[in-house]
Amino acid sequence: MIVPQDAVSAADYERHFHLRVDRGVAAYIGGAGADGITQQANRAAYDCLHLMPRALVDMAGATAASHLLGQPMAYPIIVAPMAHHRLVHPEGEMATAAAASMTGTWMTVSTQASVAVGEVARATRGPLWFQLYAQPRPADTLTLVRRAEDAGCRALVLTIDAPVNGIRNMEQRAGFRLPPGVTTPNLEGLAGDDFVPAHPGSPVFQGMLRTAPTWADVAWLCRQTPLPVLLKGIMNPLDVEPAIAAGARGIIVSNHGGRTLDTLPATLDVLPLVVDAVAGRLPVLVDGGIRRGTDILKALALGARAVMVGRPVLHALAVGGVAGVAHLLTVLQTELEVAMALTGRPTLADVDRTVLHGVAPGA
């Protein structure tokens, strides 16, 4: 696969992606819940926020490196967990992981990956996290945890914002169906939805939701594994104390890229509220709408320790395969460095709310 010459930003990869994939895949990957209001809000929040530079700062020794959960991190960028990479590339998550490790980027493998986590781990030397969807049977959740541990994953990301699917009208209109051959090998041998017995009443309330996890299950999970458990999908600062009490080691402010409940606020807008509630006790990450290095700088300024990037990675995978994803990740890294250089912030420790125009330092 050849990277198009005019693909120089995440938006360019998105444009090329739409020229190459069919309507169903475009709706599944590019689409969002219901009317896409949250998806748009995620982006708009970054565009509305402006940067305030400092001039003539000594940038000697500048670096975007940091630490997260005790591990050194070259750039504060992590590939977000996304299902079914084989929809857009025959090697699926193995290709994404190879590109991530080439660029020193951490990657999160989804429960619904189209390649088994052990196989992804064998395709890369880079750090992997595993995203966990709690299964209806606790024993099945533990099987997934052991598969991630055996693969050498360094953290578990428990997604808590999708106990039921959102209203995916865009996918429905496009008639999206998973093609034969794109499977979910991490879930092989597990009971999954079949375990939830048919029950009279609402298919929402009497369906999957009956076995959906609660705070007690998070506490149980944290006791089952030596791996740190991060909670993905926290939007409300009121959920911070229960998360800490349950044993979470990190929080990912996320609205699932606008794919679950539409009309949730932008993640960037709630990030400072969650960061203030956490008060330095845990690392806080954020995702949703990050397309530029300046977006990453803004998220870090509002207290994120790192960001997760979702759709742009699949756009680049579809357009340029391993080279495309490696290029996209390098573009984001370079854009972040340029944003740090031009705002006069030599290290991530120098990035605080004063880099934002019109945001009071303590606000």
Ligand X SMILES: Cc1cc2nc3c(=O)[nH]c(=O)nc-3n(C[C@H](O)[C@H](O)[C@H](O)COP(=O)(O)O)c2cc1C
Measured from the CB atom, the residue of 232 and 327 that comes closer to ligand X is: 232
Which amino acid, one-letter code, is at 11?
A
Query: Residue 292, interface with ligand X (CB under 6 A)?
Result: no
Q: Annotated catalytic residue: which of 16, 89, 256, 327?
A: 256
Q: Which of 166, 257, 272, 303 binds ligand X (CB under 6 A)?
A: 257
What single letter denotes the amino acid at residue 234?
I
Please confirm, yes or no, whether 256 is among the known catalytic residues.
Answer: yes
Contact call for residue 80 and ligand X (CB under 6 A): yes
Q: How far apart are the first and last CA of the chain?
A: 47
Which residues, 181 to 220, sit near ligand X by CB under 6 A? Answer: none
The answer to whether residue 103 forms part of the interface with ligand X (CB under 6 A) is no
Cβ proximity to ligand X: between 256 and 345 the closer is 256
C-beta closer to ligand X: residue 297 or 345 = 297
Site for ligand X, residues 28 to 47, rule: CB under 6 A: 28-29, 42
In the complex, what is the shortest distance from the CB of residue 342 to ligand X, in angstroms, rounded to a whole number?
24
Q: What is the DSSP letter of 289?
A: S
What are the strands, taking DSSP E only, across the chain? 66-68, 71-73, 77-79, 106-109, 128-132, 156-159, 229-234, 250-253, 284-287, 306-309
DSSP state of 106: E
Span of 90-98, 253-261, 330-338, 343-351 interacting with ligand X by CB under 6 A: 253-261
Please tell me whether residue 288 binds ligand X under the rule CB under 6 A. yes
| Contact between residue 109 and residue 93 where contact means Cβ atoms under 8 Å apart | yes
Minimum CB–partner distance for residue 314 and ligand X (Å): 6
Binding flag, residue 310, ligand X (CB under 6 A): yes
Question: Residue 7 or 21: which CB sits closer to ligand X?
Answer: 21
Q: Is 289 in the site for ligand X (CB under 6 A)?
A: yes
Told to check if 287 binds ligand X by CB under 6 A, we report yes
**3-state class of 361 per DSSP?**
coil
As given in the structure block, the two tokens for residue 10 are 């995440």
- What's the 3-state SS for 192-227? HHHHCCCCCCCCCCCCHHHHCCCHHHHHHHHHHCCC
Distance CA 17, CA 35 (A): 21
User: What residue has token string 């475009």?
Assistant: 26
Residues classed as catalytic: 256
